[in-house]
């Protein structure tokens, strides 16, 4: 009866709790990288450097325009790298989660598989 209770928990509420926690971990990772927000602000100036308007003669305004353009390019490069890294980390985390759910499902069967292999004479 005790063994049945363990299997009921393992494949019932324990399995569901593991899936919920794993999914919450993926959501936390996605929230950490905020890919949607990075896409919305892709061409914003990097750390708001030279983001203000400049009054003055044409050469001063041209220099300010070049500074803002350079700052936006730097911001786009860093945000693109952050988006790429976020996508890689979220993908790895998702694959890891899927593997952990499969392992969770198969883990109770390993002693039976070990005994069966032992009975067949398989040695490592």
Tens-digit pLDDT profile for the chain (124 aa)? 788 888 899 999 999 999 999 999 999 999 999 999 999 999 888 876 655 677 888 888 888 888 888 888 999 999 999 999 999 999 999 999 999 999 999 998 899 899 999 999 988 7
Does residue 71 sit in helix, strand or coil?
Answer: helix
Backbone angles phi, psi at 103, to 5 degrees: -65, -40
Measure the CA–CA gap between 62 and 85, rounded to whole angstroms: 35
Q: What pLDDT was estimated at residue 68?
A: 85
Measure the CA–CA gap between 39 and 18, rounded to whole angstroms: 32
- What is the radius of gyration, based on Cα positions, of the chain? 27
């Amino acid at each position: 009866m005790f063994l049945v209770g363990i299997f009921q928990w393992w494949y019932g509420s324990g399995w569901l709790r593991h899936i919920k926690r794993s999914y919450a971990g993926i959501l936390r990772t996605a929230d950490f990288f905020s890919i949607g927000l990075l896409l919305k602000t892709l061409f914003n100036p990097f750390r708001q450097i030279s983001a203000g308007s400049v009054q003055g003669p044409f050469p001063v305004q041209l220099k300010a325009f070049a500074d803002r353009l350079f700052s936006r390019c730097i911001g786009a490069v860093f945000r693109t790298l952050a988006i790429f890294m976020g996508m890689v980390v979220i993908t790895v985390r998702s694959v890891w989660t899927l593997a952990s759910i499969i392992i969770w499902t198969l883990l109770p069967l390993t002693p039976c598989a070990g005994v069966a292999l032992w009975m067949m004479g398989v040695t490592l």
